[in-house]
Amino acid sequence: MTEITGILKTAGSKRHRAEARFRAYGLIAIAVSLSFLLIMIGSIITRGSGAFHQTFVQIDVELPAEKLDPEGTGDPDVLRKARYGKLLKAALRDRFPAVKSRSDKKALYKLLSSNAEYTIRDQVVADPLLVGGTHAFWVRASSEVDQYMKGKIDSSLEESRRRINDKQLAWIAELQDAGKIEKRFNTQFFTGGDSREPEQAGIMGAVAGSAYTLLICFVLSFPVGVLAAVYLEEFSAKGRLNRFIEVNINNLAAVPSIVYGLLGLAIFLNVFNLPRSTPLVGGMVLALMTLPTIIIASRSSLRAVPPSIREAAYGLGASKVQTTFHHVVPLAMPGMLTGSIIGMAQALGETAPLLMIGMVAFIVDIPGGVTEAATALPVQIFLWADSPERGFMEKTSAAILVLLGFLIIMNLVAVYLRRRLEIRW
Amino acid sequence: MSRISTALRPALAITALFAMTSASHARDQITIVGSSTVFPFATTVAERFGKNTDFKTPVVESTGSGGGLKLFCAGTGAGTPDITNASRRIKASEVELCAKNGVDEIIEVKVGYDGIVLANSRKADVISLTRKDIFLALAKNVPDGEGKTKPNPYTTWKEVNPELPDVKIEVLGPPPTSGTRDAFVELAMEGGCKKIGWIKALKKSDKSAYKTLCHTIREDGAFVEAGENDNLIVQKLEVNPAAFGIFGYSFLDQNSDKVQGSVIEGSEPTFELIADGDYPVSRSLYLYVKKAHIGVIPGIEGFLEELTSEDAYGEDGYLADKGLIPLTEEESEEVLDAVANLTPLEL
């Protein structure tokens, strides 16, 4: 008797130990993956947070009427064409009158963004009354100054090893004492298009491009994918042909994305002559890529609808179409949406197929429609990561944050839709 | 009938969309393709041009020199690019391809020079090399001293040249698809390879053997293909002071706090020495413009004007700030002349 309980006891504790071990493994696995995620996101945030702020410098610029608008027309076209760069340089020289030599002047001009003249131009065009006086403008500091202000340039290094020299440091200190240099929230990063100057570059062009591309992708792939799945699952005869199609769809889901890009290049661009580098073509290519994912997910969610629902509908005299679209599809909709969102999220992160159709490009203008040249978020990240200018490092990380934000919003929409649709049942 | 039309409606809508977009396809925006080395400069000019004029900002794609010329030479019309960048001169075969497809007049604009550097971390010492050292350290096969070749036996720089430090040879460089790699192989490796007498003779007797010998980089791990991203190479050098990296001058310029360029043939990779032509590993950068598109696609002349303005490619222009080494005065006058008269290229 005691022998048996002994055996049972040891066997029991052995099983318990095995279970405890298994739980521990699970916990370790989760802890490891969570810590990796935290390290990754943490490092992106610490590196990217700098991009949300930008250093501005205040400078008094004289705007002589005879140089900007000699005839005094106040015509915005005339004011737009005028050259503001020289006025800005003169303003800098007035601010630091001790600067005489040519190389020092060059270093002085480099305190401000090379695009600062356009800031002044835009303000003058918006308010022509500024012409003829001297006004204080806040303009963007150059990327080097900005990096220094953010503590990313070590001023203790020897002069030849940093991108900002001792004289420039002295000028910055002077501006700091006068309160003419400050860091502000960088709205341009969220509202502007791309630029070659890190201090000027914005993400909006890529966000708009990605949004248009995904819109086209969704409009094309969701209806086609869902209808194909409904037909294959509910209507078609379950024969050899059906199985053949299924195998092929599964294969398509595993085709590398660059192949779809080549297809897009060969068909959409070369045969249909659609415009290169546009979200229209990008969306079409990504739709091809997303279709198999949507079809597979939709089919399995259709299969998960219990047959009793169909039988009850038939029993009440509903036709096949009525049964499918009134009862089965609504029930399967949450699963279909989840599948589509996963497919779209994948499409959002693609660069390879976009390379072939010309969306991996430098585009400054923010696209206003699906037929205007545009780029996409992951492409923007890639282009910035590849740029020599140091200032793009933080922009790259910030762009990754924006991409992650975009993904989170997409997933939230999916969760919301799923909840709503589930309540209706 | 009505059922058919309901079924056809989406298909018709899609066809209509195609027709609409193809019809409205007359382009009002310049498209530029080509070299990733010229990309930072072409984009800067494009952005300036967009801001200074009422034209749309040109779209600039980075496709590589070869890829760009292929697209460029595919024909004329709105579906093909107007301008292509190249980090090497157009080849005769490419001019032929262009002509075959109706692109018979091409304007060549030489924009400047780019130095290719061999750099290491600031934590280590600067080394001074010859091109022959580079060849011996990185070639797959090296001379065995008896007029034949043997697989590269060198594992440290000291074995290559007793004056060099006793450090393992480890060089990070771009993959073969990159123009930087092509130029490095041609200028540094072949430049050193030619210094060996019998190999120079080989060039005349057996050109393909000469090319294979001089152009093949070793594959035993001493040369590491680090991808097209030069920023990544810089980061790797920072953590590994024993390693060297190969990349363009603009990356050295931007990262002078982290890396230093090696001296090659007694000349440091500095802006001035590359501009003077003293630094041996430098190449010319070009822009090719399709003459047939001038006047058809709006703004191309304006773009060329912006590119060749003193503000842009002059000695103190904004392109020099981006790391482009400007042309000499005579050269730039020739280029200005060709641009002003839209003189087509003749090889």
Q: What digits encode the pLDDT tens for the residues B240-290?
A: 999 999 998 888 888 888 899 999 999 999 988 888 888 999 888 999 999
pLDDT for the residue B10 = 53
pLDDT for the residue B226 = 84
Report DSSP letters for A196-236, one per residue: SSTTT--SHHHHHHHHHHHHHHHHHHHHHHHHHHHIIIIIS
Inter-chain residue contact A364 with B318, CB threshold 8 Å: no
pLDDT surpassing 80 at residue A400? yes
If contacts are CB pairs under 8 Å, which of residues 116-175 in chain B contact chain A?
122
Least confident stretch, A92-101, B85-94, B196-205: B196-205
Same domain, A208 and A179: no
The one-character DSSP state at A323 is I
Contacts of B47 in chain A (CB under 8 A): 195-197, 362, 364
Q: What is the number of domains present in chain A?
A: 2
Name the band, by pLDDT with cuts 50, 70 and 90, for residue B12.
low
Same domain, B91 and B132: no
Flag whether B12 is in a domain. no
Average pLDDT over residues A182-191: 92
**Nearest chain B residue to A355, by CA:** B63
Same domain, B48 and B176: no
Contacts of B233 in chain A (CB under 8 A): none
Same domain, B196 and B300: no
Least confident stretch, A277-281, A286-290, B203-207: B203-207
- DSSP E strands in chain B: the ranges are 31-34, 59-61, 83-86, 106-121, 128-129, 141-143, 149-151, 171-173, 223-225, 244-248, 259-261, 263-264, 282-290
From the CA of B141, how many Å to the nearest CA of chain A?
33
pLDDT for the residue A39 = 95
Sign of CA dihedral B111, B72, B283, B240: positive
pLDDT surpassing 80 at residue A348? yes
Inter-chain residue contact A365 with B230, CB threshold 8 Å: no
Length of chain B: 347
| Nearest neighbour of B47 by CB, restricted to A196, A276, A390 | A196
Flag whether B50 is in a domain. yes
pTM above 0.90, yes or no: no
Same domain, A75 and A143: yes
Share of chain A above pLDDT 70, in %: 98
Q: Does B67 contact A at CB distance below 8 Å?
A: no
Contacts of B256 in chain A (CB under 8 A): 160-163
Flag whether A310 is in a domain. yes
Q: Does B251 contact A at CB distance below 8 Å?
A: yes
pLDDT tens-digit map of A288-340: 999 999 999 999 999 999 999 999 999 999 999 999 999 999 899 888 988 89
Tokens at B80, concatenated: 């093909």
Flag whether B147 is in a domain. yes
Same domain, A133 and A214: no
Q: Of the residues B232, B259, B282, which one is the last residue of a structural domain? A: B282
From the CA of B341, how many Å to the nearest CA of chain A?
25
Residues 6+ apart with CB under 8 A from A269: A276, A281, A357, A358, B79
Contacts of A161 in chain B (CB under 8 A): 122, 256-257
Flag whether B7 is in a domain. no
pLDDT for the residue B314 = 81
pLDDT surpassing 60 at residue A160? yes
Same domain, A225 and A133: no
Same domain, B148 and B278: yes
If contacts are CB pairs under 8 Å, which of residues 218-237 in chain B contact chain A?
228-231
Inter-chain residue contact A196 with B254, CB threshold 8 Å: no
Flag whether B16 is in a domain. no
Q: How far is CA A226 from the centre of its chain?
A: 27
Same domain, B306 and B190: no
| B108: β partners | B288
Inter-chain residue contact B257 with A154, CB threshold 8 Å: yes
Average pLDDT over residues B286-302: 92
| Nearest neighbour of B57 by CB, restricted to A269, A365, A388 | A365
Tokens at A173, concatenated: 């200190």
A177: helix, strand or coil: helix
What is the interface pTM, i.e. ipTM, of the complex? 0.82
Q: Of the residues B257, B282, B307, which one is the last residue of a structural domain? A: B282
pLDDT tens-digit map of B20-39: 554 445 688 999 998 888 99
pLDDT tens-digit map of A105-155: 888 998 999 889 899 999 988 888 888 889 999 999 999 899 999 988 888
Contacts of A114 in chain B (CB under 8 A): 318, 321
Inter-chain residue contact B255 with A390, CB threshold 8 Å: yes
pLDDT tens-digit map of B301-327: 999 999 998 888 888 788 888 888 888
Flag whether B200 is in a domain. yes
Burial A14-31 (b: 16+ CB within 10 A, else e): eeeeeeeeeeeeeeeeee
Helix extents (H) in A304-365 = 307-315, 320-322, 329-348, 352-356
Same domain, B125 and B228: yes
pLDDT tens-digit map of B228-251: 778 888 889 999 999 999 998 888
Q: Of the residues A185, A220, A239, which one is the last residue of a structural domain? A: A185
What is the residue range of A228's domain?
Answer: 204-424
| Nearest neighbour of B47 by CB, restricted to A269, A358, A364 | A364
pLDDT for the residue A397 = 94
Residue to mutate among B18, B28, B30, B47, with most A CBs inside 10 A, is: B47
Same domain, B130 and B244: yes
Q: Are B171 and B243 in contact (CB under 8 A)?
A: yes
Q: Over the Cα atoms of chain A, what is R_g?
A: 30
Name the band, by pLDDT with cuts 50, 70 and 90, for residue B18.
low
Same domain, A304 and A177: no
Same domain, B221 and B294: no
CA angle A90, B322, A397 (to 5 degrees): 105
Q: Of the residues A185, A215, A243, which one is the last residue of a structural domain? A: A185
Inter-chain residue contact A385 with B316, CB threshold 8 Å: no
Q: What is the number of domains present in chain B?
A: 2
Inter-chain residue contact B321 with A389, CB threshold 8 Å: no
Q: Of the spans A28-42, A266-280, A333-347, A401-415, which averages the highest pLDDT?
A: A28-42
pLDDT surpassing 70 at residue A1? no
Flag whether A375 is in a domain. yes
What is the residue range of B235's domain?
Answer: 115-282
Residues 6+ apart with CB under 8 A from A267: none
pLDDT surpassing 90 at residue A219? yes
pLDDT surpassing 90 at residue B66? no
Average pLDDT over residues A170-189: 92
> Which residue is it, tokens 């939230």?
A412
Same domain, B194 and B258: yes
pLDDT for the residue B230 = 83
pLDDT tens-digit map of A45-103: 999 988 999 999 999 999 888 888 888 777 888 888 888 888 898 999 999 998 888 88
Least confident stretch, B4-13, B115-124, B204-213: B4-13
Average pLDDT over residues A165-180: 91
CATH of the domain at A417: 1.10.3720.10
| Nearest neighbour of A274 by CB, restricted to B21, B27, B256 | B21
Residue to mutate among A121, A276, A281, with most B CBs inside 10 A, is: A276
pLDDT tens-digit map of B134-164: 999 999 988 887 778 888 999 999 998 999 9
CATH of the domain at B183: 3.40.190.10
Same domain, B104 and B188: no
| Nearest neighbour of A275 by CB, restricted to B25, B51, B316 | B25
Least confident stretch, A114-123, A267-276, B170-179: B170-179
Inter-chain residue contact B31 with A277, CB threshold 8 Å: yes
Average pLDDT over residues B333-340: 88
For chain A, list residues whose CB is within 8 angstroms of any CB belonging to chain B: 85, 106, 110, 114-115, 118, 153-154, 157, 160-163, 195-197, 269, 272-277, 280, 358, 360-365, 371, 373, 383, 385-390, 393
Q: Of the residues B282, B307, B322, which one is the last residue of a structural domain? A: B282
CA dist., res. B322 & res. B47, Å (int)? 14
| Nearest neighbour of A388 by CB, restricted to B33, B40, B62 | B40
Inter-chain residue contact A387 with B250, CB threshold 8 Å: no
| Nearest neighbour of B254 by CB, restricted to A106, A365, A390 | A390
Inter-chain residue contact A163 with B257, CB threshold 8 Å: yes
Same domain, B77 and B133: no
Residues 6+ apart with CB under 8 A from A399: A48, A203, A206, A377, A380, A381, A384
Same domain, B121 and B231: yes
Flag whether A38 is in a domain. no
Flag whether B11 is in a domain. no
pLDDT for the residue B301 = 92
Flag whether B9 is in a domain. no
| Nearest neighbour of B79 by CB, restricted to A157, A273, A389 | A273
Inter-chain residue contact B257 with A161, CB threshold 8 Å: yes
Inter-chain residue contact A363 with B231, CB threshold 8 Å: no
Flag whether A17 is in a domain. no
CA dist., res. A381 & res. A402, Å (int)? 10
Same domain, A246 and A136: no
Beta strands at B31-34 and B59-61: parallel, antiparallel or unpaired: parallel
Same domain, A163 and A251: no
Q: Are A187 and A201 in contact (CB under 8 A)?
A: no
Q: Are B103 and B290 in contact (CB under 8 A)?
A: yes
A313: helix, strand or coil: helix
Inter-chain residue contact A272 with B22, CB threshold 8 Å: yes
